[in-house]
Structure 1
Amino acid sequence: MALPPLPDEEWNDEVDRALARLLPAERRNRAGAGDALAVLVRHPELTRAFLGFNVHLLFGSTLDPRLRELTILRVAHRRDCAYEWHHHMKLGRAAGLTDADIAAAAGAAAADEFDRVVLGAVDELDEQSILSDATWAALGARLDDRQRMDFVFTVGCYTTLAMAFNTFGIGPEEAPLAGT
């Protein structure tokens, strides 16, 4: 791992506050948080600020959870982020994604027309940092403005996390899912 988890002896009240938005008290420790969060809390202020945003996208977003997870999986695939792929494949299944949906996020043809729009929109944002008017309108066939905003921010958030996880050397683990 390029950046190791924060050692047990360095977990303090500041780290606890950084994780409070996402984890219950009994999981705000090295073992309960898992590697990803244990690395991120090396910078507690940044982690606390970022998790506010990330928690909204996971639990307060206007996007349907299935669509959110399909979106995140496409980002994980495009960014070759094993950590995101592993964890969000599990979350995606819990949100209703099928094996075929997961394969579509990895580049297979999606059976559902709107899923194809969503996956193409992720690709557009990743390649151009903007959605075309046609894609914005196609998303608008099923999503309102707030949902489309949450979609764009979901792509951006998980692209940022993929860059961080890949750079810091954070890979899949079998620890409890923290939501990240």
Structure 2
Amino acid sequence: MTEPRPLRMAPLPAEEWDDATRAALSALIPPDRANPAGAGNVLSTLVRHHRLTEAYLPFNAYLLTRSTLSMRVREVALLRAVHHAGCEYLWSHHLPIAARAGLSPRDVDGIRTGHCPGGDDQTVLRAVDDLVANHVLDEQNWEALGDIFSDEQRLDLIFTIGGYLLLAMVVNTLGIQDEHE
């Protein structure tokens, strides 16, 4: 996608983790993962601001676990959004989740290029592209989404796209590095 960006804000060092840090993560990860190794670099960086993390993570947890979208639709939408944002970190971290959601390597290539063989997937890609380019869904995309999704699902889709664009901006701006590299 893009060259790695310079690290601007490092994850909170292990020796600085305290009960408030672990509590800030409780909306998204279980207590046994509320540590630098278990939380990963994104969450370990976000906890530098406890109040923001406590406010943001319930929203993110909703998008990941309780939204009305299927896992497949969520992953198609967020992968296309983070691809637009050039966020390799989120792209690579969501590939295993996408595979569990039933997306094949061919599907993932289609998400990257903007051409999915499945009709519903292509409708989602067009919606992501429209929102990224124009910050609004045109009437054609709005109606196409209405043909396959309820109003709640359309709202969840818009928030998923926007939510992951927001997270990609944070990851890219802070230069958060992949903990697996």
Q: What TM-score do the two structures reach when normalised by structure 2?
A: 0.93
Q: Percent identity of the aligned residues?
A: 43
> How far apart, in 1, do the equivalents of 2:66 and 2:19 lie?
26
Q: Hey, what does 2:95 align to over in structure 1? A: 89
Report the CA distance between 1:171 and its aligned residue.
Answer: 3.0
> How far apart, in 2, do the equivalents of 1:88 and 1:165 lie?
14
> How far apart, in 2, do the equivalents of 1:120 and 1:171 lie?
30
| Paired amino acid for 1:52 | P
> How far apart, in 2, do the equivalents of 1:127 and 1:108 lie?
13
**Aligned partner of 2:179 among 169, 173, 178:** 173
1:84-163 residue pairs with structure 2 within 5 A? 84-163=90-169
| Paired amino acid for 2:168 | A
Q: Is the 8 A contact 2:114 2:125 kept in 1?
A: no
Report the CA distance between 1:13 and its aligned residue.
Answer: 1.6
Q: Hey, what does 1:18 align to over in structure 2? A: 24
> How far apart, in 1, do the equivalents of 2:87 and 2:99 lie?
18
The runs of at least 4 consecutive aligned structure 1 residues that moved more than 2 Å come to 171-175
> How far apart, in 1, do the equivalents of 2:177 and 2:76 lie?
20
> How far apart, in 2, do the equivalents of 1:9 and 1:95 lie?
37
| Paired amino acid for 2:18 | N
Q: Deviations over 1:21-49 (max 9, x none)?
A: 11111111111111111111011110111
Q: Hey, what does 2:78 align to over in structure 1? A: 72
Q: Hey, what does 1:178 align to over in structure 2? A: none
| Paired amino acid for 1:140 | G
Please list every run of 5 or more consecutive structure 2 residues that lacks an aligned counterpart in the other structure: 1-6
> How far apart, in 1, do the equivalents of 2:114 and 2:140 lie?
22
RMSD of Structure 2 on Structure 1 (CA): 1.2
> How far apart, in 2, do the equivalents of 1:120 and 1:131 lie?
9
| Paired amino acid for 1:59 | T
Please list every run of 5 or more consecutive structure 1 residues that lacks an aligned counterpart in the other structure: 176-180
Q: Is the 8 A contact 1:41 1:47 kept in 2?
A: yes
> How far apart, in 1, do the equivalents of 2:113 and 2:136 lie?
21
Count of matched residue pairs: 175
- Tell me the secondary structure at the aligned position of residue 141 of structure 1: helix
Report the CA distance between 1:174 and its aligned residue.
Answer: 2.9
Report the CA distance between 1:108 and its aligned residue.
Answer: 4.9
Q: What TM-score do the two structures reach when normalised by structure 1?
A: 0.94
